Amino acid sequence: MAENAPIFIAGPCVIESAELLNTVAKELVRLNAKLGIDIIFKASFDKANRTSINSFRGPGLEKGLQMLQDVKAKYGLRILTDIHEAYQAQPAAEVADILQIPAFLCRQTDLLVAAANTGKTVNIKKAQFLSGLDMQYPVQKVRESGNDNVWLTERGNIYGYNNLVVDFRNIPDMKRFTSTVVMDCTHSVQRPGAAGGKTGGNREFIPAMALAAKAFGANGFFFETHPDPDHALSDGPNMLYLNELEDVVASLL
């Protein structure tokens, strides 16, 4: 992989089954070999911030981490997963190469410190209610805890009315604080709560979101992807079809 190649992160929103993880992992391995890249595998063991209490959350910490470890061992992919509480940081770090802080939680000091203390790369998603410049403070919390391996991720801002708006100026603003700024190309097309107790979305805008972010200097790209997103158990309307991932990634190389 070229030294300055962009970072790619891809995978299903939540762990639904071992079969789904294997299907996505096989495609990422194929793309890595074909395109000469190193896509990081992403999936969540628990979605703790679903719209409805009745929504599917995932297999939980212990089982979910074991399933991610199986993917890592079988396919040799690096792993990214998100944590929601400080106690999850250390066990997740035993499997994951990158710990992700969800956008809603990016100001949670104990969570940031716990992630930092693992020594793993910490990917902090910018809150929907913060500007890019505001993200200097979460970065500071991680670095002052002794960890310089910190990324920031743009995912849009929310103004109510079930919609998100991306201000791409946030990307160069956040690059003031870290050399790695990722564009979350799929969560940025969400329509939060717009699908009757669950999140809607407009996946048709994903390729354009990625290209616009590249123009503004993003050097990482995050895609939630699924072979059948219309029947996914979380975030289906804003996930990319797995068979479309290659074209979108290739457009960014």
Please report, in tens digits, the pLDDT of each residue of the chain (253 residues total): 556 789 999 999 999 999 999 999 999 999 999 999 999 999 999 887 766 777 777 889 999 999 999 999 999 999 999 999 999 999 999 999 999 999 999 999 999 999 999 999 999 999 999 999 999 999 999 999 999 999 999 999 987 777 889 999 999 999 999 999 999 999 888 776 545 555 667 789 999 999 999 999 999 999 999 999 988 887 778 889 999 999 999 999 9
pTM > 0.85: yes or no: yes
Q: d(Cα 235, Cα 218) in Å, to the nearest integer? A: 23
- Cα–Cα dist 193/195, whole Å: 6
Query: Where are any strands of DSSP class E within the chain?
Result: 7-11, 40-42, 79-82, 98-101, 121-125, 150-154, 157-158, 164-165, 181-184, 190-191, 200-201, 220-226, 240-241
